[in-house]
Amino acid sequence: MNSQTQQALEQALKGPEFERRVKRRNLKDSASAFGISIGGVGVIMAVLLIMFFLLYVVLPLFVPASVDKKSEFIVPGSKAQHTLYYGMDEYQETALRFTESGEMVGFKVADGQQISAERLPLNGESITAFTVVSEADNLLAFGLSGGGVLLAKYGYSVSYPNDVRTITPKVEFPFGEDIIALANSKIVKLAVKQNESDIVFVYQQAGSSQLQVKQFGKIESMLSDNLILEEGYASSVNANGNVDWLLLDGSMRNLYLIGKSGVADYFDLSDLENPRLVQHLNLLPAGEQLTVARFLLGDYSLMLGSDKGVVYQWFPVRNQHNEFALQSIRSFKVGESPISAIAIEKGRKGFATTDDAGAFNLFHSTAERHLNESQVSQQPAVFVTLASRGDGALVETADGELVHYQIENHHPDVSVSSLWGKVWYEGYSEPDYVWQSSSASSDFEPKFSMTPLTFGTLKAALYSMLFAVPIAVLAAIFTAFFMDKKTRQWVKPSVELIEALPTVILGFLAGLWLAPYMEAHLPGFFSLLIVVPLGIVAFGLMWAHLPEKIRLLVPVGKRAILMIPVVIILGWLALQMSDPLENTFFDGDMRHWLTYSAGIDFDQRNAMVIGFAMGFALIPTIFSVTEDAIYNVPSYLINGSLALGASGWQTLVGVVLPTASPGIFSAIMLGFGRGVGETMIVLMASGNTPLMEANLFEGMRTLAANLAVEMPEAAVDSSHYRVLFLSGLVLFIFTFVFNTLAEVVRQRMRRKYGSL
Amino acid sequence: MKEWFKKGEHWIWFSASTVSISVVLVFGLLGMIAWKGLIHFWPHAVYHIEVQHQSGQQEVIVGELHDTKMKQVEDNTAPHGSREVPQYLFKIGNRDVYGIDFRWVSSEDMVGGVERLEKDVVVIERYEYGNVYGHIESVKLNGQVEYNPHKALEMLAEQVEKGSALHSEIHHLEKIEIGAINYKIEGLRLEEKRLRANNDFDAKAEARLAAERAELQKEFDTLHQAVQVLYQQAESTGEVTLRIAGERTLNVPVNKIVSFWQPNNMTTAESIGFFFSNIGKFMWDEPREANTEGGVFPAIIGTVTMVMLMAIFVTPMGVIAAIYMSEYAKEGVLLRMVRISINNLAGVPSIVFGIFGLGFFVYILGSSIDELFYSYALPSPTFGTPGLLWASLTMALLTLPVVIVSTQEGLSRVPRALREGGLALGATKSETIMRIVLPMTMPAIMTGLILAIARAAGEVAPLMLVGVVKLAPELPLDMVAPFVHLDRKFMHLGFHIYDVGFQSPNVEASQPLVYATSLLLVLIILGLNLGAITIRNRLREKYKSLDH
């Protein structure tokens, strides 16, 4: 280096300019370090966000209801009169109260200020019986002292004076203001139900032990909007004891006469002219007295409150003789004091109770959830009603106070027991696992059992593993241990090619080609399982007896190529045997034989199709990891074993497989994880019916396919939406745990043998 | 023999066979898709079948043979009480006349076998009602009727060419030009709504909008008139009269004809030409008849646009996360856990990403964006509904592990000596990474990106939730600003397979198309994968030489 360059160098490396440059570079360096760190952490956070987001959507399912007291005031209208009914509008601005004197008072919920008052047109008679015809339609029926019945419908008129929403409660008479004359003496008990075309009245007159049943047809009036009733069938039934509650269910077929002691008569009215006593039984445990009885939403389940503070749910169930009998379904322990009132929700199977200790309790029947308990007052609470959307309640206390509650209760219908346990749904003959998330009717009981879906998921995964594991593991063993390098170089990528195939194509082929083909050649697929292995062994034996010259033509490492035409021929042979087999053993049609002779249900898209199609998709995952594990077994272990005189296979079983077993285990875990989450193949080839059958010839619905089917239709933030997210979370955790397990095992193995 | 079993020879044969089985399955499957997909494009011969019904009635069927199967027929004289009879599936076309276009015929009802070709038959592909099979009787043009078969054929060819030119012109005007104007008019409507919502809608704005609208309306009217003229021209391209099976005649207006050919008169060279032109049509045409006919162009465009957008999102995200994890983050338990989590994310079912995309991107992010920026358009959502943007973001998350893992692998393969060399020469850490490490990692990043694209192109389940539709009215990519419409829904090849295969009303008619679409998708994905493998192998070779 001459002095000139030295000088130039020194100049360049000193001075303010150089300092500035260094500063700039350092600044740039730390800036990019900062930027990359922020970005990197951000991306990692985004990834973790997925899990937390799933949790965030799912968690509200398990939050208990909150009940807040909004206002308290003196019962509007006449305090001395007993309340028959309360109604509240859906905005919880106004409410109305019917009293036993036939007065309707509309009032503001915020302060109890009276805003309207109407008297029912009773024509001087007094109300002696009262029943709710339909909670959903707001239709009420009043039995009168003169033997008549008045039907009244309450509602709310909404107007916008000065752009402010103003709601006024009102009463209408869809059947006219005239009293419907049923009998000529006082009606003491009354039950009324209607459907599209008919209305049925059941009533008891004072002093009579008989109950009259009268059916009317509904005809639209030519002159007004009112409906005219046309008398139809009539009959009567005998009560065995005191009738304190008279309940007719929504189908108008089941009539219950219940006494205070809990003794009930159950009549079948399906033939209106000849009512039939089905059962005479006691609905309560000994020593308990009935205090309240009413229907749950849908007018099917009986909700019975007792003086020991328990609510019992009963409904008729079809027994093995195909006859209905009342069945105790479940009970809810409220407290120790007698239940004074039960109110039901109008959109869900929830209900609220009040008792003599002044407590207000909120339940959901299907989910068996006790959602909330609040103390209303020290006085007994005597009456309760729920707002039409289930988000509010009015409770009347014995000292004439009315309390308005605001309720936050978004997902009462989901609980751990309803998600995973057997639930006895209305209309089912026994408790069962059912997934049925939606229906057209409004009083539908959603059935959110994840068990059939989880079962279907596991069934699909297990059947496909049954196909994939033997093929993939054996193929990996051969490829890694016996195959020569040259063949291995193209065999390995070809098998791994399957992984790249879009599963939608596999699903399409499975659903539209394999399923019908398999249905037509069912015995052929079973003969595959026998013919191919036997044929392979036979070929091997034959090979061993060939002259050495020919045998040496194909070394062990190339046997896979040799076997390609052999397995093609064997497979073809096996499928050709389908028809002869079918004719010999299965009367010419195996499908028919299965259904009628063996009693096994058969669907075209079944677990066997899934087993083949999804099993095929799982092969590369298992193959690739197993192959790696075996290939990486240190060669001196193998050489040692071979040197000691073990055969190739003996070395493999005795030395290689034990060493590689953690790797094989993790391969199987990975394959299982993939099988659990696979969506398109199952969606297209499984039939998607949520069954709980392990039958090979029936389909299933998996968690993943269920998400694909139902997610687009689920309303945001509904229970259905959140339950679907829960199934997504289950899938996520499931696969995450399996993959982590596999990964940890693999890393441990790598560390162990990496050092060898 | 005992010795043979004892040595485990049978197991070796078993394991060798499982390899063969896997290989046979893979190539059998690919072969089947290729065969069934390609045969769709080859000109099918048209057969002439005479059918004698049990009632004694005779009938002639003209059509393409599409499938054969055996059917069990009860027969008491046969050994098992039944025997097998071949059944043939014919595509007889002429759906407007016969009501169905596929028909099973039992060989027992046939008089004189299947192998009789119909001479000089003409197949006409129409825009509606599928194919026509028949003989040209006459061609009518401007009141003149040509009966000479030779001249009629020539005339028809000429007219059909004219007709399809007109058709594509009309299509261009209607879809692209008028579509663009409609889009702008809709934009003006939304702008007015926005101005009103912000209380900025004054006389000036009103006048400006009205002027713009009038301008557009004028353009629209001109175009509309042009289209009307073209329609009139198309109407006057004449009409062909065909004699179809069953001694009936069928009139087909030329402007309803896509193309026509004479499969039984084609030479091999002509068949090959026809084959390739069919493939071309399949790639560039729009789907017709509820996706069961025509091409898959919108699905290709949709797939490509979505995948490209995804690549734009996933590359920086993946590369930055990988650089952070291997160059900046401190080694430790936490990092190892993060690494395992990211690895495992690749195993999380894709549908879970789908519900995340729907719940988070669409319902939460999308709704918030709508409320903040597009509140004037509410309640009709702009981004608060599944669409292109959310689909590509969801796919980016789904493929993120692929890119991260691949980049990390590439980073770990860069020899330490190079890094240290860079630092020793006075480069800062970021300079070393940017100038030395990253360029060497480029092939690994490319590999990861290609694999990510291949995965995204084949994945359907999550897309079903976040933006794919069976028939999108507009392409997500067009010539109107902003060119890529992030809020639009789009079509996708994979979903096309699912939809046409399973939701289509005419399964038999649509199956060939599904196979063809599958073949296209498989080719795209295999091509991408092979590319990735090639790059990876080259990369490995390169570093092998660096290590020594």
Chain A residue with the nearest C-alpha to that of B533: A493
Residue in the structure block whose two tokens are 């044969």: B13
Spatial separation of the C-alpha atoms in residues B272 and B278, rounded to whole Å: 10
Q: Are B509 and B291 in contact (CB under 8 A)?
A: no
Residue B547, token pair as written in the block: 């290590």
Torsion of CA B358, B359, B364, B367, to 10 degrees: 40
Mean pLDDT of B471-481: 80
pLDDT band (50, 70, 90) for residue B168 = confident
Report the residue from B24, B341, B465 with minimal CB separation from A567.
B24
CB-CB neighbors (< 8 A) of B80 in chain A: 583, 588
User: Which neighbouring-strand residues pair with B90?
Assistant: B65, B103
Mean pLDDT of chain B: 86
Size of interface A-B (CB pairs under 8 A): 318
Q: What is the ipTM of this complex?
A: 0.89
Task: State how far the Cα of A178 lies from the Cα of A121, in Å rounded to an integer.
Answer: 8
Q: Which DSSP string do the residues of B362-393 spell out, in sequence order?
A: IIIIIHHHHHHH-GGGTTS-SSSS--HHHHHH
> Strand (E) positions, A283-323?
290-295, 302-306, 310-318
Query: Between 1.20.120, 2.30.30, 3.40.50, 2.30.42, what CATH number should domain B46-118 receive?
Result: 2.30.30
Q: Which CATH class is domain B300-493?
A: mainly alpha
Residue A498 · residue B42 · CB < 8 Å: no
B-chain CB neighbours of A562 within 8 Å are: 16
How far is the C-alpha of A136 from the C-alpha of A197, rounded, in Å?
Answer: 17
Q: How far is A516 from chain B (nearest CA, A)?
A: 12
Residues 582-611 of A with CB under 8 A from B: 583, 588-589
pLDDT tens, position by position, A308-345:
889 999 999 988 888 888 888 999 998 888 999 999 98
CA–CA dist B367, B383 (Å, integer): 7
For the purposes of burial, counting CB atoms within 10 Å of the CB of B267, is it exposed (0-12), middle (13-18) or buried (19 or more)? exposed
- Catalogue the E-assigned strands of A178-209: 180-181, 187-194, 198-205
Beta bridge partners of B477: B484
| pLDDT of amino acid B279 | 92
Say if residue B240 is exposed, middle or buried (CB neighbours under 10 Å; 0-12, 13-18, 19+): buried
Can you give the pLDDT at residue A347? 83
d(CA A422, CA A405): 33
Say yes or no for a CB contact (<8 Å) between B522 and A501.
yes
Question: What integer is the mean pLDDT of A159-184?
Answer: 84
Do the chains contact at A540 and B511, CB–CB below 8 Å?
no
Residue contact A567–B325, C-beta within 8 A: no
Contact between A121 and A131 (Cβ < 8 Å): no
CB spacing of B14 vs A536 below 8 angstroms:
yes
pLDDT tens-digit series, residues A607-618: 999 999 999 999
Neighbours of B176 (CB within 10 A): 14
Q: Could you tell me whether strands A166-172 and A180-181 are parallel, antiparallel, or unpaired per DSSP bridges? A: unpaired
| B118 DSSP 8-state letter | P
The sign of the CA dihedral A505, A506, A512, A517 is positive
Supply the angle between the helices B268-284 and B507-547 in degrees, to the nearest 10.
80
Q: Is the pLDDT of residue B82 over 70?
A: no
Q: What gap in Å lies between CA B136 and CA B127, rounded to an integer? A: 19
Confidence (pLDDT) at A229? 81
Q: Which of residues 67-126 of B touch A (CB under 8 A)?
A: 69-70, 72, 79-82, 84
Interatomic CA distance for residues A221 and A296, integer angstroms: 32
Which positions 696-725 of A are in contact with B (Cβ < 8 Å)? 704, 707-708, 711-712, 716, 724-725
Of the ranges A184-188, A362-366, B245-249, which is most confident? Answer: A362-366
Instruction: Among B10, B338, B348, select the one facing A732 at the smallest CB separation.
Output: B348
Of A475, A503, A512, the CB nearest to B15: A475
First-to-last C-alpha distance (Å) of chain A: 51
Cβ proximity of A627 and A476 under 8 Å: yes
Q: How many CA atoms lie within 13 A of B519 on its CB side?
A: 20
CA within 13 Å, CB half, A670: 28
- Name which of B1, B12, B17, B459 to mutate to probe chain A: the one with the most chain A Cβ atoms within 10 A of its Cβ: B17
Q: Which chain A residue has the Cα nearest residue B520?
A: A505
pLDDT band at A754 (very low <50, low <70, confident <90, very high): low
pLDDT at A565: 92
At A465 the pLDDT is: 94
Q: Which residues of B touch A497 (CB under 8 A)?
A: 26, 526, 529
**B518 pLDDT above the threshold of 70:** yes
CA distance B149 to B134: 13
Q: Which two tokens stand for residue B22?
A: 């896997």
Q: Which residue of B has its CA nearest to A733?
A: B348
A 4-33 residues inside an 8 A Cβ radius of B: 25-26, 28-29, 32-33
CB distance A399 to A379 below 8 Å: yes
Residue type, A203: Y
Decide if A315 contacts A346 (C-beta within 8 A): no
Q: CB B9 to CB A544 under 8 A?
A: yes
Percent with pLDDT over 70 in chain A: 99
d(CA A359, CA A496): 66
Question: Stretch B355-366: mean pLDDT, rounded?
Answer: 92
Measure CB to CB from residue A36 to each of B81, B320, B353 and give the nearest one: B320
CB contact under 8 A, A743 and B344: yes
- Asked if B26 and A494 come within 8 Å (Cβ–Cβ), the reply is yes
Shortest distance between the Cα of A628 and any Cα of chain B, in A, equals: 15
pLDDT band, very low/low/confident/very high, at B426 (cuts 50, 70, 90):
confident
Q: Is B250 exposed, middle or buried (0-12, 13-18, 19+ CB in 10 A)?
A: middle
Average pLDDT for residues B279-305, to the nearest whole number? Answer: 87
For B:209-268, CB contacts with A below 8 A are none
DSSP reduced 3-state for A709: helix
Do the Cβ atoms of B321 and A474 come within 8 Å? Answer: no
The residue written with tokens 């493998």 in the block is B533
- The answer to whether the Cβ–Cβ distance between B349 and A536 falls below 8 Å is no
Query: What angle, 0 to 180 degrees and rounded to 10, lies between the N-to-C axes of helices B493-503 and B438-458?
Result: 10
CATH of domain A452-512+604-754: 1.10.3720.10
Among residues 327-386 of chain B, which lie with CB inside 8 Å of chain A?
Answer: 327-329, 338, 340-345, 347-356, 358-360, 363
Interval A201-213: pLDDT, tens: 998 888 888 888 8
Tokens representing A386 are: 């729920």
Pairwise CA distance, residues A456 & A692, whole Å = 7
Query: pLDDT category, A461, cuts 50, 70, 90?
Result: very high
When pLDDT is cut at 50, 70 and 90, the band that residue B267 belongs to is: confident
Considering only CA atoms, which of A580, A591, A590, A587 is closest in space to residue B74? A587
**Distance (Å) of CA A747 to CA A94, A316, A663, B336, B340:** 67, 59, 9, 11, 10
- Where does the pLDDT of residue A756 fall: very low under 50, low under 70, confident under 90, or very high at 90 and above? low
Q: B338 CB contacts (<8 Å, ≥6 apart)?
A: A44, B325
Which pLDDT tens digit goes with each residue over A271-298? 888 888 888 888 888 888 899 999 988 8
**Residue A516 to residue A286: CA distance in whole angstroms:** 60
Does A568 touch chain B if contact means CB atoms closer than 8 Å? yes
Q: What residues does each domain of chain B span? A: 46-118, 139-255, 300-493
Between chains, do B340 and A43 touch, taking CB under 8 Å as contact?
A: no
Q: For A9-30, how does the pLDDT look when each residue is reduced to its tens digit (9 = 90+)?
A: 887 777 788 888 888 888 988 9
Of A43, A589, A677, the CB nearest to B349: A677
Contact B428 A567 (CB under 8 A): no
The pLDDT of residue A452 is 92
Q: CA-nearest residue of chain A to B454?
A: A500
Which residues touch A395 (CB under 8 Å, ≥6 apart)?
Answer: A354, A360, A376, A381, A383, A384, A402, A403, A405
Cα separation, B23 vs A562, in Å, equals 12
What pLDDT, on the 0 to 100 scale, is given for residue A706? 92
Q: Show the tokens assigned to A200.
A: 């049925």
CB A453 within 8 A of CB A434: no
Q: What mean pLDDT comes out for the span B92-114?
A: 80
> Residue B299, CB half-sphere, CA atoms under 13 Å: how many?
33
